[in-house]
Amino acid sequence: MEIERLEKEVTELSESSFSIKQKKEENGKVISELVKKIKEGVEKQNDLLMEVDGLVEELVREEKDVEMLTQQRDSLDVNLNRVQQEVVSLRRTIEIITHDKAEMEEAKVEVENVIVDLRRELSKLKEAITSLTESSEVEKGRNEELLSQMGYLREALNGVSLEKDKLSLLLEDKERKLKKSWLSSRKQKRRRYMTPQEAWSGRKTVVDHFRIFGCIEYAHIPDEKRKKLEDKSLKCVFLGVSEISKPYKLYDSLTKKVVVSCDVIFDEKKTWT
């Protein structure tokens, strides 16, 4: 009886050990599947982290662009205020010039009228002198008075012509001075060791986005354009900034094509050879 009981216990132990082995094998399979899933999750997490880094870099670039735009807007506002002030000063100078011109023209017209009147009087005196020369010697005293009056009128005419010349010279001198002051106000002062933008706005220009031409850079390849085991970046050569949008312009030496990308990592110590 004891032998039968022992045999039963042995059979039960063998069955239990076989079931334990089966459970171990099942647990091993489950653990291997879990390990695979964990590896896949880690890879996806790394991809997401790369995408987050790219988005952070884009946000930083956009913030720099916004700062540059605000600086440009401030400089444009300053320039607009200066232009408005210059326009106001120019309008004032134009009003002064037109007012002075009108006064000079009025004085010129008055002088010309005086000259015309004097010429008429001279012509009358000449006619009187011719008539008096034909008269008798009794009227010689009168002729001498008329001659003295004629000399006086000639002197007055010469004085009026001199005043007219002086007025024209003053008008030309005033116009020359106004032109000179306007041209001197339009000239800009030269400053050394600074850009025209800094000299105009008083602020240094931001050049953090400048890169060395011909340096090596690595452009990110999106997940849609690559397979799982392929490279995540493309080695290119920096050519400059795109004329159409903000991203950088790159040259792929393998395909010999120009690529435009925003997610770029620069290695300025290395150059393309």
Q: Say what the pTM is.
A: 0.29
Q: Does position 200 have pLDDT exceeding 80, yes or no?
A: yes
DSSP-derived letter for residue 249 is E
Residue 107: partners with Cβ closer than 8 Å, 6 or more residues away: 167
Specify the residue for token string 């987050």.
52
DSSP code of 225? G
140 — pLDDT class (breaks 50, 70, 90): low
pLDDT per residue as tens digits for the range 7-63: 676 677 677 766 777 777 777 777 888 888 888 888 888 888 888 887 888 888 888
In the predicted structure, residue 133 carries a pLDDT above the cut 70: no
pLDDT over 60 (residue 230): yes
pLDDT at 138 over 70: no
Least confident of 21-25, 175-179, 186-190, 205-209: 186-190
The Cα 266–Cα 252 span in angstroms is: 14
**Residue 233, helix vs strand vs coil:** strand
What secondary structure does DSSP assign to 177-204, as a single string? HHHHHHHHHHSPPP-SSS-HHHHHHSSP
Q: Comparing 134 with 224, which gets the higher pLDDT? A: 224
Contacts of 172 (CB under 8 A, 6+ apart): none
264 pLDDT above the threshold of 70: yes
Tell me what the mean pLDDT of segment 140-153 comes to.
69
Look at residue 204 in the predicted model and tell me its pLDDT.
82
| Distance in angstroms (rounded) separating the CA atoms of residues 175 and 102 | 13
Residue 175: pLDDT above 60? yes
Mean local confidence (pLDDT), 83-99: 78
On the question of pLDDT at 214 being above 80, the answer is yes
